[in-house]
Amino acid sequence: MKDIVLSIQGLTKRYGSITAVNHLDLEIERGSVFGILGPNGSGKTTTLGVLLDVTRPNAGTFTWFGNPPDKAQRKKIGAILEVPLFYPYLSGKQNLEIVARIKDLPGEDIDQALKTVDLYDRRDSRFRTYSLGMKQRLALASTLLGKPEVLILDEPTNGLDPRGIAEIRNIILEVASHGVTIILASHILDEVQKTCTHMAVLEKGKKLFSGPVGEVLNDAQWVELAADNMANLQLALNQVDFVENIQEEGDKYIIKIKGSLSQAELNSYFFNKGIVLTHLALRKKSLENYFLELLDKS
């Protein structure tokens, strides 16, 4: 049986005439790294806000760990929403002590959390003196307190430099390797692709797709082909039924293949037709392409 950590049914949130989240249904399994992907303003933060009781929905219900939401469930969740939210006049450590007290934690792991995000040396500096990267890392440290069952991260690498992004990503992967369920909202395709196992795509508050990231990447693959005799190759391509789309790019054809065919199968197919391929390469389809396709369809 599937162990569902979060289940959302028909969630709707309107701001005046704008529908920020539109009848959203979603299920997230324990242990998955779930990416919520969508452009800015697609309803990601609003959805997470509702899940954390910061935003009041107009309609719909959701359950955490199979229970109706309340503060006891939220104590098992570590979350970052948009920007780091701390008392600027308190030190990093004092801020974490408040979080620990709210979550009914003894606070023994505060130092450890600060070390994990590399802030231990600055633990007694006031929050307002931190750089943006340090603020983000403190927010991450606060989510790690007390070994949460679920991590909610809303644009965790927003505004960070490449090194900061890599650091945060490594921490996320490290945490995920311990079986923590992670919900990651992002408008950066690369981020979702590199860290997530499952994903949902949102656009204008509507869910366009949800499923395993692998499925997104494999449901169609793009292959680069070239042969000595390009005319023959084109002729052959026009006859086969597994090709969905053909594009010419320089001296190569880029074809989109329905279903799954291995490179070896492809090669032998053309060889049997008397065409010797001089180039055969699998093009990993990026989420970016997929995302644009989804947006076009809707």
Partner 1 sequence: MIKLVQIELRKILPYKMFWVMSGIYMLSLIFFSYGLPSLIDYFTMKSDVPEIKLLMKFLYNFPDIWQNLAWAASLRFFIKIFIGMIMIILVTNEYSYLTLRHNVFNGLSRTDFLLSKVYVAVILSLAATLLIFLTGTVLGLLYSSTISMEAYFGKMIFLLGYFVEILTFLLFSLMIGILVKRTGFAIGLLFVYPILEIIVQQKIPESIQPYLPLNAMNHVIRTPNTSLIQFSSPEFNVDLQTGLNSMDIFVALLYAALFIGVSLWVIRKRDL
Which residue of 3, 70, 161, 288 would you call a contact of partner 1, by CB under 8 A?
Answer: 70
Question: Which single residue is written with the structure tokens 């001089």?
Answer: 278
Residue 59 binding partner 1, by CB under 8 A:
no
Give yes or no for residue 79 binding partner 1 (CB under 8 A). Answer: yes
Q: How far is CA 172 from CA 103, 143, 283, in A?
A: 21, 11, 27
Asked if 66 contacts 6 with a C-beta cutoff of 8 angstroms, the reply is no
Determine if 108 is a binding residue for partner 1 (CB under 8 A). Answer: no
Query: Is 289 among the residues that bind partner 1 (CB under 8 A)?
Result: no
Q: What angle do CA 59, 61, 67 make, to 5 degrees?
A: 160
Q: What is the DSSP string of 94-110?
A: HHHHHHHHHTT---TTH
Find the binding residues for partner 1 in span 115-154 (CB under 8 A).
142
Binding status of residue 53 toward partner 1 by CB under 8 A? yes
Q: Which of 4, 83, 132, 188 binds partner 1 (CB under 8 A)?
A: 83
Tell me: does residue 166 bind partner 1 (CB under 8 A). no
HSE-CB for 86 with a 13 A CA cutoff: 32
Q: Which residues contact 105 (CB under 8 A, 6 or more apart)?
A: 145, 146
CB of 150 to partner 1, least distance (A): 12
Min dist. Cβ of residue 76 to partner 1 (A):
9
Residues in the chain: 298
Task: Please name the amino acid found at residue 212.
Answer: P
Stretch of 23-31, 53-61, 251-259, 278-286 contacting partner 1, by CB under 8 A: 53-61
The residue from 99, 113, 184, 201 that contacts partner 1 (CB under 8 A) is 99
Binding piece for partner 1, criterion CB under 8 A, among 101-109, 114-122, 229-237, 248-256: 101-109
**Does residue number 72 form part of the binding site for partner 1 (CB under 8 A)?**
yes
Burial of 34 (0-12, 13-18, 19+ CB in 10 A): buried
One-letter identity of residue 15: Y
Task: State in angstroms the smallest separation of the CB of 73 from partner 1.
Answer: 9
User: What are the tokens at 98?
Assistant: 């408040």
Stretch that binds partner 1, among 37-45, 98-106, 193-201, 247-255 (CB under 8 A): 98-106
Structure tokens at 231: 């005319």
Interacting residues with partner 1 (CB under 8 A) = 49, 52-56, 70-72, 74-75, 77, 79, 81, 83, 85-90, 94, 97-99, 101-104, 142
